[in-house]
Amino acid sequence: MIKIGITGQAGFVGTHLYHTLGLFPEEFERVAFEDDYFKDESQLLEFVAQCDIIVHLAAMNRHNDPQVLYDTNIGLVTKLIQSLEQTHSKAHILFSSSSQEERDNLYGKSKKEGRKLLINWAKASGGKFSGMIIPNVFGPFGHPNYNSFIATFCHKLSHNETPVIEVDGAVKLIYVGELVAEILSEIRSGKGNDEFVIPYTSESKVSEILHFLESYKKAYFDKGIIPTLHNTFELNLFNTFRCYMDIANHFPVKYTQHTDPRGSFVEVIRLGIGGQVSFSTTVPGITRGNHYHTRKIERFAVIKGKALIQLRRIGTDEVLNFYLDGKEPAYVDMPIWYTHNIKNIGEEVLYTNFWINEFYDPNDPDTYFENV
C-alpha cells in the first residue's frame, strides 16, 4: 500500500487528485493534509513522516503584489524541504510547476526556483523527484477569477453575467482529469524526472472556447438540450460548464406536457449526442442509484409517481433534495463527481426514464458506488 499525501489537498487539482486516489483503495492510502500544517512545524513533520509520496500542489497563483506570491511559493517549498530533511525522508516528491517557468514574471520564477530547490534536496538525500511542468488546467470546481479563465467564463455565463476577453490568444490546455491521469502514471512508474513536461491535450483561442461555452449556455442552460459534442475536449468542456450552474435552484426542470382526450405527451430530451435511454419502474419505498460518474452525462426524468432525487458532491456533506411528481413531469441532470439516487416516496409505482450519453460498458462503466 502506497501512502500518498497532497499539499494543497483542498485546492482545485488537489481535490480531483485526492478523490481519484480514493477510487483505488487497494493501491493507495491517502494521508490527510490541511493548509494549516505549513503554520505548525510538528503537524507538517508528522504528515511528511507518514508519506511514501508527496504531491506538492500548495501554492499561491494570484496576488496583487507579485513579490508576495513569489515569497509565499518559495516559502512553502522551503518548509517542505526542512521537514523532509528533519524526518530523513526518501519520499518521491512530485512538484507542480508551470509552463510559465520561462516567462519573465515572479510566479514563473517561484516555480522554476522551487523545482531547483527540490532537485537539490533529492540529490542530497537520495529521495526521488518529479518536477511537473504543467500547461493551463481546466475542469470542474475551479475557482472563478483565480484558477482559470474557463472557470471565470463558466461561472459568469451560468449566472447570467457577460464574460470579457482580455487577450484573445491561443491557449494550450489540459483537462484536470487528464492531468490526474498523468500524475498517477508518474507515481506508478516510480522513476522520477527532474523536468517532466506534461503534454497539453488541446489548443484553442480564448474566443473559440467562449463560443463553445456560450452555445452550451443557450442550448443546455436555457433549453435543456444536450449539445453536440464532437470529441473528448468538448465533452470535458461541457462537463466543466455544467458544474458551475446553481444546481440547487436550476433543478428540477419541469417538462411541457401536452394533453388531449387520448392522454398526454412529454418530450423527454433533445440532444445532439447519442447514448442510451432506459425506462424503469420502482415500487414504493425503494431507492435506486447511490453512485457517481466522473465523465458521463445523465438525466433522470420522472413521468409518473412521486420521487425524491438526491445529489451530493463527493468530498462534501451537503445533500441536495429534489422532489418530483409525475403530475408535473420534470427532470434532474447528474453533474459529474456527484453521487446520486432516486427513491419512490409515493404510494404507487414510480415510472422513470433514464438517459446517459454513452452505452454501458461493463469493462469501463465509470460508475462508483457511494451512498448519498
- Confidence (pLDDT) at 246: 96
**220 CB neighbour count, 10 Å cutoff:** 20
- Confidence (pLDDT) at 310: 98
Q: 230 to each of 22, 238, 325, how far by Cα in Å?
A: 30, 11, 35
**285 CB neighbour count, 10 Å cutoff:** 10
Pick the CATH number of 247-369 from 2.40.50.1020, 3.40.50.300, 3.10.100.10, 2.60.120.10: 2.60.120.10
Pick the CATH number of 2-134 from 3.40.50.720, 3.50.50.100, 3.40.50.300, 3.40.50.620: 3.40.50.720
Q: What is the DSSP letter of 214?
A: H
Separation of CA 42 from chain center: 31
Q: What is the pLDDT of residues 71-126, one digit of tens each?
A: 999 999 999 999 999 999 999 999 999 888 878 788 889 999 999 999 999 999 99
Q: Are strands 306-313 and 320-325 parallel, antiparallel or unpaired?
A: antiparallel
Q: What is the pLDDT of residues 234-281, one digit of tens each?
A: 999 999 999 999 999 999 999 988 887 887 778 899 888 889 999 999
Q: What is the pLDDT of residues 336-371, one digit of tens each?
A: 999 999 999 999 999 999 999 999 899 999 999 999
> Residue 210 phi/psi, 5° resolution?
-60, -40
Domain ranges of the chain: 2-134, 247-369
- Confidence (pLDDT) at 274: 87
Q: What is the pLDDT of residues 211-241, one digit of tens each?
A: 999 999 999 999 999 999 999 999 999 999 9
CA dihedral 177, 36, 59, 166 (to 10 degrees): 80
126 Cβ neighbours under 8 A, 6+ residues apart: 90
Residues in the chain: 372
Q: Is the pLDDT of residue 311 over 90?
A: yes
- Confidence (pLDDT) at 254: 94
Q: What is the pLDDT of residues 137-151, one digit of tens each?
A: 999 999 999 889 999
Q: Is the pLDDT of residue 131 over 90?
A: yes
Q: By the 8 A CB rule, do 247 and 334 touch?
A: no
- Confidence (pLDDT) at 364: 95
